[in-house]
Structure formats: C-alpha cells, structure tokens
Structure 1
C-alpha cells in the first residue's frame, strides 16, 4: 500500500523529462517515509514547471503528511486550477479542509471528486469521512461507506469506515460486525482493534489520533 491517495506511476522511459524525474524521486522519498526531504526535492521541480498537475498533487499529499494542512490545501488548489475535474486533487483538498475545520467546503469538495470519478471507492470514502467529521448527515455517510465497499469489497478500511458510520447512527450491533469484518481482513490494525473494544465495552473511547486520517484516506493501491 502507498501512503495517502493513489498517485499514478511516473513513467521514466526514454522520453522522460526533468519534471517526471523529479516527481519520481520525490515519490520514492515519500514511499521511504521521508516527506520532508520529498517536499524539498519537489519544490524546485514545481518552480521550474508550475503547470504540473501531478507535481502539485504530490506536494499536497506531502504537506498533509507534514501536518501543513494550509499548505496542502494551497497545493491541491493549484492542481485543481490546472485540472478542475482531477479527483485526487479534489479529495486531497477535501481532506485538508476537514483538518482545517472547514467542513462544509470539505463535504462539497469530496462530492466533486465523486462526480468526477464515481467508480473509485476512495472518493466515496472521503465523502463518508467528510460528513463524519462534520458531525452530520450520518445516513449519507453510511451510504457513502457502503458504496465504497461495493466498489472495492477487498479493502478492510472501507468496512472500518462503515462501522464508524453505523456507530454514529446508533446501530451498535451492525457497527460491531463491520469492525469484525475489517479485522478479519487486517487483524493487526490497532485502531480497528480499539474501536471494536470500545463497541464491546472493553475500552474507553479516546480522541482520534491526529495522523489517523492520513491512513484512512489513502493507504490504498493505485
């Protein structure tokens, strides 16, 4: 699994230009869990080629990883300005808006990603979490989570999302079953383990870890 939203692979064939090479280097650093160095590597690439949608998408993801939510939003918005229907940029912007507490904009932007690419489960999952973070429209969040499962039934995270949405609706038994399904597929996930323990009355709920959303919204194969 790669971190955050799936990034299209950069082809480094004979015709690869300096932008492609720079993005590939930054992506490799990101995959090695060094977002700070990846961002430093990417900055001159974007200075030389500010029209690179892939570059701004990657920079937005890097800024999220560095807890620079405003910087992530600005980078995502630059990608959106270049490609208004780019779903990855829209979803990353939505994530940044959620973290900035701008929930209405986060929900709207997440739905734009779904409209742009309705067959990608990631964007439906982003809608679900935008609504959950906004603490409203839990039925819509549950529907979005269910849609994500229908599109990608082999991804354990989507069952986790569904469980959280069901819990928000007060459907504790169904939420427990969703968490169990997620854990059968990914037994070592500590967040799902803890959430199930809370549902079973075996643990006390804790505040959601700040970095949790980074895993949630995209440790997903492209």
Structure 2
C-alpha cells in the first residue's frame, strides 16, 4: 500500500536534518513510534522548516493517538510544502478522527487534485465520506477509482466492500471482500466484515466518537491490521 511518507533509501550526502528525519523514519518503520517521535522532536527543534520532518511527525502522532498534535504537524507541513499531497492526506485523516468531517472530505479531495494517479488519496476520500455517513455513492466511486489505479492492493477492495455494504449492495460487497481476502487472506477485519455479511456474526454497534477507537485502535491493535481506516463501523 502506498505510504504517507517517502524517504531516501541511502543516507550518503544527506544534511544533518535529512539524516535525523531518515533515522526517525527507520525507527518508525521498526514499530518504535515513541522513540521516532522523540528523535524527530529534536530534529524539528533544530530545523523547524523541514517539511519532510513534519510530514513524518504527523504520521507518527496519528499512530500514537495524538490526533490534535498530528493535525498541527500536518498543518505545518502544508504551509511549508503546499503542493505536496502527503500532509494534506494526513490532515484529512486527523480531521476525520476529530469528527470534523466537512474539512476532512475537503482535504481528501485536495490530495486527489494534487496527485490524481495515487490511489491512496481516492481511498482517503472514500473513508472520509464513509466516516461522515454521507455521499456514499461518491465513496463507492472513489473506492472503485483506487482499485483501477492499484488492482493488486487488497485494502482498496476492502474499502469498496464497505462502501457497497453501506449502499445496501450486500452481494457485491461480499464479492469485494472475497477479492480482498484472496489478496490478503490473513486480514482479520476483512474476515469479520465478511462474516457479518454472511450472517455468521453480529455487526458491532459502537457509537462513533472522537479518537482512534473510532477505527479500533486499542490495546489489541497490535494483533490486527495496521490500517486504521479498516475499523470504521
């Protein structure tokens, strides 16, 4: 799946700031977001004008369930690199988690406009609309667009299945989820969604609320999918 952060594969010839950001990114990829954030805080204190650092910080703050800080980091990155869709996408996710759905949808579409061939942003549009519980047909269209751009990515079929289910198209939703599971058989969230559609288990009716729990990020999240949007009720 396309990532929200892109960093160089080598450190040769990098400035101290670039090296610090790369090291923080490596820590984050090794699933140590706390240490990554601590290192990145030092880097950004020394050089607060590095967009790449703020983009990474936004992503780390989201993982740490620090949504307000994530939105602040994304906003700083947007001011430094207004043409870059990555901080816009991160801001959209944070705004969704904060329940600021109109802004989240607007930011998601802004990312699509900036980089229309990136399926990640179409997927973000779909989830922003699904979280807002509005324009579900547009969410389904966005999910289909993501699939067209990345037909081998299981997550986009999952998104499409959720959107189809929201539209009441149970059979089509089932087929989309089956395709997602064929590509990624061990995804427990897709397995659960399919079981719900098949009547094998009950749909959870948790109230929507602020924070990562909207997407199921809790103490058990480590054993689940790493994609928080998959936990949208």
Into which bin does the TM-score normalised by the smaller protein fall? over 0.9
Residue in 2 that maps onto 1:210: 216
Residue in 2 that maps onto 1:107: 105
Q: CA deviation at 1:51?
A: 1.1
Query: Equivalences for 1:97-176 in 2 at 5 Å?
Result: 97-176=95-174
Instruction: Determine if contact 2:123/2:159 at 8 Å carries over to the other structure.
Output: yes
- Aligned residues: CA RMSD: 1.8
Any idea what SS the aligned residue of 2:227 has?
helix
Residue in 2 that maps onto 1:87: 85
The structure, 1 or 2, with the larger RCO (C-alpha pairs under 8 Å, 6+ apart) is 1
The TM-score normalised by the length of structure 2 is 0.88
Q: CA deviation at 1:7?
A: 1.8
Residue in 1 that maps onto 2:73: 75
Instruction: State the alpha-carbon separation in 1 of the partners of residues 37 and 156 from structure 2.
Output: 29
Residue from 181, 186, 189 that aligns with 2:187: 189
Question: Unaligned regions of 5+ residues in structure 2, if any?
Answer: 207-213
Count of aligned positions: 216
Q: CA deviation at 1:85?
A: 2.0
1:4-36 deviations in Å (ceiling 9; x for gaps): x33212254442111111111111111111101
Instruction: Determine if contact 1:12/1:20 at 8 Å carries over to the other structure.
Output: no
